[in-house]
Amino acid sequence: MEQIVITIANHSHTHFAEEICEVIAASAAIRGTGIAKRTPEYIRTKIENGNATVALVGDTFAGFCYIEVWGHNKYVAHSGLIVHPEYRNLGLAKKVKEFTFNHSLKKFPDAKIFGITTGLAVMKINSELGYKPVTFSELTDDPKFWQGCQTCTNFSILTSKDYKMCLCTGMLFDPAKQVQKKQSWFNKTIVKLIKDKKQRLLENNKKVTSWKK
């Protein structure tokens, strides 16, 4: 059994940048879907800035994902999720994405997290993490993000639809809504506990009353 280690990428991982780009490009070609092209320089910057997650088996790269920051820290996107073909279908993408998600929540606690994808695996993983499908109008309007789509084969579709829709599905995780949800769950639970307690007290009181009689 090989041990897979997932960690925040650092300077010692920059030499994986070329291989990561090659595997992303090769996988997109096989899938026949569009994908924004990444350069090794871009990947290296993400690694150097502590905005990337890497999965390793010994000295071999097994998985990768990085964080992009948009709209003055209002939004972050988790992009470039890739698992080396040798390590697919083991649940590794899920682990890498979850690790990146938690790292991102700590580093950018107020940012909405989003992604655009054509991949079912990514949609499944995102849904499990609490993302909701949204229209592009809910995502960042930072033009630099959308410029990244220029290298995708479907870019003409995006522009013909005035950046409102494309083949990708937009998915969004809003931490503020999660807090509200948790709070509303907490409030409901507290109200229910108080109701139950009152009810029990009343019942006990009734029992005592009837016993006294």
Ligand X SMILES: CC(C)(COP(=O)(O)OP(=O)(O)OC[C@H]1O[C@@H](n2cnc3c(N)ncnc32)[C@H](O)[C@@H]1OP(=O)(O)O)[C@@H](O)C(=O)NCCC(=O)NCCS
Binding site for ligand X (CB under 6 A): 27, 31, 81-83, 88-94, 117-122, 124-125
In whole angstroms, the minimum distance from the beta carbon of 116 to ligand X comes to: 8
Complete edge-to-edge strand list for the sheet that includes strand 52-57: 4-8, 52-57, 60-70, 75-83, 112-117, 169-173, 132-134
In whole angstroms, the minimum distance from the beta carbon of 156 to ligand X comes to: 19
- Between 80 and 112, CB nearer to ligand X: 80
> Which residue of the chain is nearest ligand X when measured via CB?
93
Q: For residues 213 and 210, give the distance between their C-alpha atoms in angstroms, rounded to a whole number.
A: 5
- Between 2 and 110, CB nearer to ligand X: 2
- Between 18 and 203, CB nearer to ligand X: 18
Adjacent-strand bridge partners of 7:
54
| Number of Cα atoms under 13 Å in the Cβ half of residue 5 | 9
In whole angstroms, the minimum distance from the beta carbon of 123 to ligand X comes to: 8
In whole angstroms, the minimum distance from the beta carbon of 7 to ligand X comes to: 17
- Between 63 and 103, CB nearer to ligand X: 63
The DSSP H or E segment spanning 8 is strand 4-8
What is the separation of C-alpha 153 from the centre of its chain, rounded to a whole number of angstroms?
Answer: 23
